Amino acid sequence: MEKTPPFLLFLTFLCAFSPASSQPFLGVNYGEVADNLPPPSATARLLQSTTITKLRLYDADASVISAFSGTGISLLLGVHNADIFSLASSPNAAASWVSANLLPFLPATSVSAVSVGNEVLNSGDPSLSSALLPAMQSLRAALDASAVTAGVKVSTVHSMAVLSQSDPPSAGAFHADLAGILEPILQFLRDNGSPFMINPYPYFAFRSDPRPETLAFCLFQPGPSRVDPASGIPYSNMFDAQVDAIKTALRSSGFPGQEVVVAETGWPYKGDNNEVGASVENAKAYNGNLMAHLGSITDPVETYIFAMYDEDLKPGPTSERSFGLFQPDLTPTYDIGLLNSGSQTAVSSSPAVPAEMSKPTDQCAAGDGGSPCSRPLVEYLPSASARSSAGVRRWLSWKGVTGMLALGSIFVW
């Protein structure tokens, strides 16, 4: 018999007597490159005790899908990049995928969409990119064959590297050499009412310019707005600037009003010595202030925070294994008010920056995109840089390729 962790027993008791305060725009990523994850059923109960209403998987793990039956939490499933060729070449393969991964679980488990691949257009494999749209079309046809699955949307997730220009946000543009593949995909999304999914990471933008004022901008902390010189729109944070650059690129490509979903964003709470900005304080500030920011605007973009747990088997620097909101024993890594306890704490604090603000050797920068908004409805403590910053606004672009995200630009003081 599965043993229930003491912390989860407490959560079960707490939720029975606490009013729920779910946030329909908020999701979390559930990666499984780990050997210490709790049982899926424990994760399902944990998420039911939080304000999170959506969960993104990178595959279609049957044990996870079944564990969320009857929870009311909506799942975004994934098709592995390696399976794209078979879906593209065979309608039977797509039908088999739907039969194996959806039909046994719906409608008891809520599945909102399936992402065919992850960051395929920047995988470096032209043949995989060419197979992406046929795979999406094949899966769409297979889903439409059953009334049970016809409402499930089909999309694919992109990195910010699909942009050739991202600063200022009003100049956002896709790489011209992707137009032949990307524009038919955009037409497919429009025709089927599916969202454009993107992975913005302000963390990588900060790493390319690790100054206190840049950190405050990336962490949603107070400071003078950065004004887009072309549109005149003031930006109070990097996240909105990144999302807006994507929206501009979509509009310039002939797809104004295309829905955008943030499929990944987050901040590591730990890193190697040269991974500037990776700390508990900054991770808490970014994710907590992101939640408050999204909750304060009229039409927040659907956003999935990376990640539910650390993935201890991931290769690379320490930060790659340090994005988890929760630990394997189901306790929060840090408190950002996710639990439905009736007393969410305001997240703020000054950013925790190493004393030596040297630029790391392995530069990596994020891109831009989002929508202008009002100040979040929480009380922030101003950082030292916000109290003393002064100077002339200017735009600075950093373009590089490394880590989880390629291409980026930021505008700084």
Active site residue 32: no
| Per-10-residue mean pLDDT, the chain, length 413 | 48 40 89 98 98 98 98 98 98 98 98 98 96 98 98 98 95 97 98 98 94 95 94 97 98 98 98 97 98 95 98 97 98 95 43 40 33 31 29 27 34 39
> CA–CA separation, 34 vs 37, rounded Å?
6
- pLDDT for position 341: 65
Question: All domains of the chain, ordered by start, with CATH?
Answer: 21-337+344-412 (3.20.20.80)
* Token pair in block for residue 289: 């202030």
Q: Based on the residue annotation, tell me whether 2 is a catalytic residue of this protein.
A: no
Q: Token pair of 260, please? A: 């955008």
Catalytic residue chosen out of the listed positions 119, 275, 302, 311? 119
What pLDDT is attached to residue 340? Answer: 87
What is the rounded CA–CA span in Å between residue 402 and residue 413?
25
The end-to-end CA distance of the chain, in Å, is: 58
Phi, psi values for residue 39, rounded to 5°: -60, 145
Single pTM value for the model: 0.82
Q: Which of 2, 32, 264, 320 is catalytic?
A: 264
Quote the CA–CA distance of 200 and 33 in Å, as a whole number: 21
